[in-house]
Amino acid sequence: MAIGSTIHTFEVQLADTDRGVYEDYSLRVARHPSETDAYMLTRVLAYGLEFAEGIAFGGSISSTEEPAVLVRDLTGLITAWVEIGAPDAERLHYGSRLAERTVVYTHRDPAKVMAPWTDKRIHRREDIRVYSFDPGFIDSAAALTERRNTMTLTVTESVIYLDLNGTNLTSAVHTHALA
């Protein structure tokens, strides 16, 4: 944890009917001073949407060795490399060489996020997926975050039903492929 980080806790009930994942878990999230609430909440949602045995938050926000979220198998190999926001092409290239699966969850306009990657070398480009949410969804949810949070995250047919601290929000999860 970086000096000056703020700790946020999330008590999460996850029901992902699309993947057949049903879990209750607690998260302690260290929010670095340079990290926005929208970025932190996107990290928390990505954790839930990618939830699997071996999932963990990666290194610090400035870490080049690990993504924001990763999944390891029992041998320690990285099976999923999950970036948040707008990573550069080199990070995607690096991650896709290490992991079976590489994805990006963004709280920004996905067209603007993907534009700088157009002419860059990215390993297994065709397999990388970018996930985004309806405009305003992340900002609305981020405004509801507190130091201690209760969250119910339900996913059905690529739609998120989020109850965050007693307020309900809904968004589609949009999938974008790299060309």
Q: What is the pLDDT of residues 96-125, one digit of tens each?
A: 999 999 999 999 999 999 999 999 999 999
This prediction has a pTM of: 0.94
The answer to whether position 1 is within a domain reads: no
Cα–Cα distance, 130 to 76 (Å, whole number): 25
Q: Which domain holds residue 105?
A: 6-177
11-42 pLDDT tens trace = 999 999 999 999 999 999 999 888 999 999 99
- 62 has a pLDDT exceeding 90: no
The answer to whether position 20 is within a domain reads: yes
Number of domains in the chain: 1
- 64 has a pLDDT exceeding 90: no
Cα–Cα distance, 177 to 30 (Å, whole number): 30
151-167 pLDDT tens trace = 999 999 999 999 999 99
Cα distances (angstroms) measured from residue 145 to each of 1, 37, 166: 20, 8, 11
> With the C-alpha atoms ordered 134, 139, 141, 142, is the resulting torsion angle positive or negative?
positive
Residues in the chain: 179
CATH at 80:
3.10.640.10
Residue 133: pLDDT band with limits 50, 70, 90? very high
The answer to whether position 48 is within a domain reads: yes
66-75 pLDDT tens trace = 899 999 999 9
- 56 has a pLDDT exceeding 90: yes
